[in-house]
Each structure stands twice: as C-alpha cells, then as structure tokens.
Amino acid sequence: MTKTAKQQVKRPRHVPMRTCVACKQSKPKRELLRVVRVPDGHVLMDATGKRSGRGAYLCARLSCWQDALKKKRLEQEFEQPLSDEDRAGLEAFIATLPKD
C-alpha cells in the first residue's frame, strides 16, 4: 500500500507570534511571559499561558518589565490602573529576573 502525495507532504508547524507590550518586538508565544487580567479585575502572572482573562505579553528581560511598569503599558493594555497589591506581585516577580 502506498501513500498518496498529500500524506507525504509535511507542512511546517504553525508557531503563534505575540508582541511584547514594552519593546514591541514580535516573538514566538513561548518565548514571552504572559500577564493576565482575570475576570475579577486582578492582574497576575500566567505561568501556563492558558488562564482565563485578558492577556499581555512581555519579554523575559528586566528592561522590558521595568519599562512596562514605568510607562504604564500594562495599565493601557488592561484599560484599568494596577492595584497596589497587583503591582507588588509583579515587582516581586521582576526581582527574580536576571539583569540584561
């Protein structure tokens, strides 16, 4: 039994692309870190990338995270101000990032 031409052709795998809200570079989704505004309004890190809510993506670089908080990129993306509790949680995560 032989395979038809359609079965033999391997298509390249689709790689979803996302844009960093700080540096505006487009990269594969798996290379970026996702921050999500969950339905109750809190802004959290999304380690799985599948959490329900509005997402924003950032590079794993310290400068992108500092820029995003300083220039209020996350507030613009989520269309709401970050609460002190949410900002503290993100800043705690930023402290774990290596320097550029």
Query: Environment class of residue 46 by beta-carbon count within 10 Å: exposed (0-12), middle (13-18) or buried (19+)?
Result: middle
Question: Which of the four pLDDT bands, split at 50, 70 and 90, describes residue 5?
Answer: low
Task: Choose among 46, 19, 18: nearest CA to 34.
Answer: 46
Question: Which of the four pLDDT bands, split at 50, 70 and 90, describes residue 98?
Answer: confident
Give Cα 7 distance to the centre of its chain: 35
pLDDT tens digit sequence for 59-85: 999 999 999 999 999 999 999 999 999
Domains of the chain: 17-94 (3.30.1230.10)
Determine the pLDDT at residue 7.
Answer: 66
Q: 100 with 67: CB under 8 angstroms?
A: no
Query: What pTM did the predictor assign?
Result: 0.85
Question: Distance (Å, rounded) from C-alpha 83 to C-alpha 74?
Answer: 12
Q: What is the mean pLDDT of the chain?
A: 92
Residues ≥6 apart with Cβ < 8 Å to 35 = 43, 44, 45, 46, 55, 56, 57, 58, 74, 90
- pLDDT higher than threshold 80 for residue 58: yes
